[in-house]
Amino acid sequence: MRFIRWFEEVGRDDVALVGGKNASLGEMIRNLKEEGVNVPSGFAITAEAYKYLIQSAGIDRAIREILRDLDTHDMENLSERGSKIRRLIKNAGCPPELEKEIREAYRAMESRYGKNVDVAVRSSATAEDLPNASFAGQQESYLNVRGEDELIERVMDCFASLFTDRAISYRVDKGFDHLSVYLSVGVQKMVRSDLACAGVMFSIDPESGFRDTVYITGAYGLGECVVQGAVNPDQFYVFKPTLRKGYRPIVEKKLGAKRKKLVYRKRGGGTRQERVSKEDRNKFVLSDDEILTLAKWACIIEEHYGTPMDIEWAKDGVTNELFVVQARPETVHSQRKLAQLETYVLEEDREQLKDRLLVEGEAVGTKIGQGEVKVIQNADDINEFRPGQVLVTEMTDPDWEPIMKIAGAIVTDRGGRTCHAAIVSRELGIPCVIGTVNGTRILKDVKEVTVDCSEGVGRVYEGILKYRRNTVSLENISQTRTKIMMNIGVPDNAFVHGQIPNDGVGLAREEFIINSYIGIHPMALIDYEKLKEKAKHDRNIARLIKAIDARSTTYEDKRQFFIDNLAMGIAKIAAGFYPNDVIVRLSDFKTNEYANLLGGYLYEPIESNPMLGWRGASRYYDEHFKPAFGLECQAIKKVREEMGLTNVKVMVPFCRTPEEGRKVIEAMSEFGLKQGENELEVYVMCEIPSNVILADEFAEIFDGFSIGSNDLTQLTLGLDRDSDLVARIFDERNEAVKRLVKYAIEAAHKHVPRRKIGICGQAPSDFPEFADFLVECGIDSMSLNPDVVVSTRLHVAQTEARLAKEEQNQAD
């Protein structure tokens, strides 16, 4: 055939013939089938067919004339010219020679799949899916097309869609000549995901550019709802390095709302929307095995193409098979220069901004933007938009691209991180908050907002807030003898912070994960069945059960809810910094903090001074809390053994005596977390004077120390660091504190075998002279907040060089 190529006949070198989308489908069918990657078959109507149509109709000159006075910044001008060209192409009609070949190819598919076989008809331009230009959604696609006549009609619609308003605008921005870009059309057997689910995955984190993860989104029905942003989908992250070793490293699972789905019409072709039942909304669309299968395919596809990939997948509800239906190069982070790191920092206190927080959603990118609010509900009104305004809308589609590129920020009610709004915002470098649910309603009468994506969660604040942009050069970062590590609490930021030059995590706090990801007292989960019985006679307990069920809706076993969510939070941090050490501090809530968790009031005593009460090590072996500690141990065991993240080490906080340390080690062992097994190291916080005075005895029990300078200063000087009355006396540079720190370092290093010792307080970054003192004492590591890691590394390098020079001078 002159105008038809079966997918099995084309590959990645045939972009000029069949466009990027079709070339990629053929490439995968020909090369990845033996590796288990399923791709539905079909055929491509070549770019030669499009050229033949234009030439035989003699409309190329007319198209160029219509575009002569094009102004893509004038929405009416752009719309008028696009509409004229599309009418011109459709009125030209399909040439008889081309129509004959299309009908013959479709009949061949019918002989394989049955009469009136359902096909997807997708545009595939010769300038799309390029490493530096995605052209995402610029041309049209049609699903569940049946019969020869409808197929011919949809092919002509695709040809005309080369001149959609957004495609014309995008080509102008990217510098492509309109008449040098041609269109192929792909005709592919439909996957019956209308009876199951579909979605998008990236072989890279689309927000941070972290390359060691696969990010998967999914929702019920045909995949267009996910691509367009019509639903808030389920989200999954899988860690590639240990996946390749045979582990099961699903480091995040987030349930999406998935309120509607796109399905086949009941009669004939086409699609319709349908609501998803509450029961199905409360389930993940994929099993763990399916998540891991898709992640493995993403790795295979990425390795074949040699670049991070953006992939669409679908599950067939008839056969239960998974398929890849599209794959293209990722166009944002794969092109990013790694010579510098840009971070945005909100300079105002977030606690004090709570009253100004208007809506939250998923963050796209890590920037901060601000401006005048402009709510637009309909694409017909986009000509009202002005440069620098914050675009607020229900969802975007490719028709919105001309105004998205001039927005100060974007906020949508619906969509996930792989939807159109997210992809385009990322490519344009514009901060975007998606899936706010009610952003258009809440922001309707608000004048100005600040859109903050810098903390891993998308937040929209009222008013223009102060922020700064930090640019750190990653070239010529000094290596130091002293390890420079990070303090991390928020797993959502791990993939960003892990790219800052560092030597690992010296303090990963469990408290944030338990508070934010779980929010329920572990004993209430352990006693869930007993509490359900009590709920029959106690309204307060009944309300508690309802709240627990709402948070743990996908779990029948409520203990597993705690284990899995704590494990995933820890694993995401460990993945972001792999293979460097990640030292996870076991839970260090005080009684009043535990009481604030759901159900906490049932289990926590009231203490007059919780800071010095039932906290840290004293809880872990206590029979009243030991079962809850067991859940923590099982979570860490899962991270290390099931996910393969053996860079995780454990740290025991507030351990008052060596005997207490032995009891904790024994309790950990009872729950399967054994010191030394699978190279597990257990550290202890050095934050009580007894930890220093008996450092030699603690060194017999633990593998290392981490100095907690806040508590050590507080307990050495005998003051409450939270009291304004004595806050002026609190100073880590006090000579008594410094002597204890120096003694602890010396004791750790004298022990045989030598024990590692670091510090996880803020003092080294707040006071450069304190950092100098620690280097002089020979401390092994400093763990700091991410924003001061690079500056402290540079300072420590200078101090180490000075000390080396002084030693050399003395030797001479």
Beta-carbon neighbour count of residue 154 at 10 Å? 22
Instruction: Give how far Cα 461 sits from Cα of 118, 154, 443, 470, Å.
Output: 47, 45, 10, 21
Q: What burial class does residue 809 get, using C-beta atoms within 10 Å of its C-beta: 0-12 exposed, 13-18 middle, 19+ buried?
A: exposed
Q: Please, are residues 258 and 425 in contact by the beta-carbon 8 Å criterion?
A: no
Q: Please, are residues 359 and 442 in contact by the beta-carbon 8 Å criterion?
A: yes
Distance of CA 652 to the CA centre of its chain: 30
List the 213-220 sheet strands across, edge first. Answer: 250-254, 234-239, 213-220, 197-202, 309-315, 322-329
Return all residues near 540 (Cβ < 8 A) that are at least 6 apart.
none
Token pair for residue 235? Answer: 């989200």
Q: Please, are residues 473 and 400 in contact by the beta-carbon 8 Å criterion?
A: no
Total length of the chain: 812
Instruction: Give how far Cα 454 sits from Cα of 155, 266, 510, Å.
Output: 43, 45, 21
Q: Please, are residues 32 and 301 in contact by the beta-carbon 8 Å criterion?
A: yes
Return all residues near 735 (Cβ < 8 A) that are at least 6 apart.
none
Q: Please, are residues 670 and 623 in contact by the beta-carbon 8 Å criterion?
A: no
In whole angstroms, give the CA distance from residue 46 to residue 663: 72
Distance of CA 590 to the CA centre of its chain: 31
Helix residue ranges per DSSP H, 318-438: 401-404, 420-428
What kind and span of H or E run contains 261? strand 260-264
Q: Which DSSP category does 417 fall into?
A: T
Given the residues 420, 497, 521, 795, select the one marked as catalytic.
420
CA geometry: angle at 308 spanning 307 and 312, to 5°? 125
Summary count for the chain: helices (H), strands (E): 31, 30
420 is catalytic: yes
Token pair for residue 629? Answer: 């500690």
DSSP-based three-state secondary structure for 498: coil
Q: Which DSSP category does 133 fall into?
A: B
In whole angstroms, give the CA distance from residue 302 to residue 304: 5
Token pair for residue 446? Answer: 């608000």
In whole angstroms, give the CA distance from residue 772 to residue 777: 9
Given the residues 225, 453, 686, 760, select the one marked as catalytic.
760
Write phi, then psi, for 282 (nearest 5 degrees).
-85, 15
CA geometry: angle at 486 spanning 500 and 471, to 5°? 30
Beta-carbon neighbour count of residue 290 at 10 Å? 19
Token pair for residue 295? Answer: 């992640």
In whole angstroms, give the CA distance from residue 121 to residue 144: 8
In whole angstroms, give the CA distance from residue 417 to residue 796: 39
497 is catalytic: no
- The rounded radius of gyration (Å) of the Cα atoms in the chain is 30
Beta-carbon neighbour count of residue 676 at 10 Å? 9
Catalytic residues: 420, 760
